[in-house]
Amino acid sequence: MNSEIDHGPRRVIALGRDLHRHGSIPPAFTYAAYLKLSSLVGIYRLGDSEHVRPAEQHPPGGRILSTVTVEEEDQKLEDATPQEIIEFAIGRFEPSKIALACSFGAEDVALVDMVSKITDEIQVFSLDTGFLFWETEETQRRLSDRYNLSFEVVHPELSIMAQAEKHGRQLYLSDPGACCNLNKVVPLEQTLAKYDAWITGIRRDQAPTRANSPNFTWDERFGLYKFNPLVRWTEDEVWDYIQANDVIYNPLHDRGYPSIGCAPCTKAVAPGEDPRSGRWAAFEKTECGLHADS
């Protein structure tokens, strides 16, 4: 296809990055494509002090927007499709500086499929705590084969044996918060330090703690931008997408596990129960700490 008239997602994204860098409209950029892109990402000049904080505050390779701008752009995305939110992210940041977090639940595999149809430059990573279900590990292998993906698999600093020696056996029972911090939060912090933005699969109706989650926000805890393309979707919409696109999914979903985490801390739930009630069921704990502020 002639690249001069190709205005598909990859072409529009590339042009968006050119607009973002130079504040100008390339000659081949048609008015229709311009309207489409500007409605998603807005046109901001790098030197515009109304939209960009001082350069010394920028993360390496990225940009910091004012709080007002982030909130405004989040509102603009309230009617956007998940794919448009992904395209917005790529128009705003270098794709290689964006990471997609994948824990191999339904939302995450849907996002892997969406992202793979838009770009192959976003890095997909997973946290391997050492306590994953074998079905989860098999889902990763199948996704790798389907999309020719090389997952960045992130491990905690200490092995399970080393953790047992230092903190005692079954830390997930004696102190589940410390276990999540050691095996998930700290490795995630170290991984996200390399990126300017990350994409997650959280949805507003997953839990009360996520009810006000935005489409796009500054993640204060981890120090980068955060995109939640599926945030307005329902569980039914996620599964409609999976079925319509023949997306590989974790077989645990068929056995009563709507929310999947580490094997020792996740159990099946009965139909009609809170989908996340199977997580840390014996404890007053609802989040592992990765999305505490969503």
Instruction: Measure the CA–CA gap between 163 and 186, rounded to whole angstroms.
Output: 14
- From the list 246, 227, 229, 243, the residue with the least C-alpha distance to 143 is 246
Answer yes or no: 288 catalytic.
Answer: yes
Helix, strand, or coil (residue 212): coil
Please say whether the beta carbons of 128 and 153 come within 8 A.
yes
Buried b (16+ CB within 10 A) or exposed e, 213-252: bbbbbbbeebebbbbbbbbbbeeeebbebbeeeebbbbeb
Please say whether the beta carbons of 62 and 29 come within 8 A.
no
Please say whether the beta carbons of 171 and 182 come within 8 A.
yes
User: Checking DSSP bridges between strand 123-127 and strand 216-219, what pairing results, if any?
Assistant: unpaired
Helix, strand, or coil (residue 9): helix
* C-alpha pair distances (Å), 268 with each of 136, 190, 209, 264, 272: 15, 31, 21, 12, 12
Strand partners, 99: 123, 198
Residue from 102, 180, 265, 288 carrying the catalytic annotation:
288
- From the list 240, 253, 250, the residue with the least C-alpha distance to 82 is 240
Annotated catalytic residues are 288
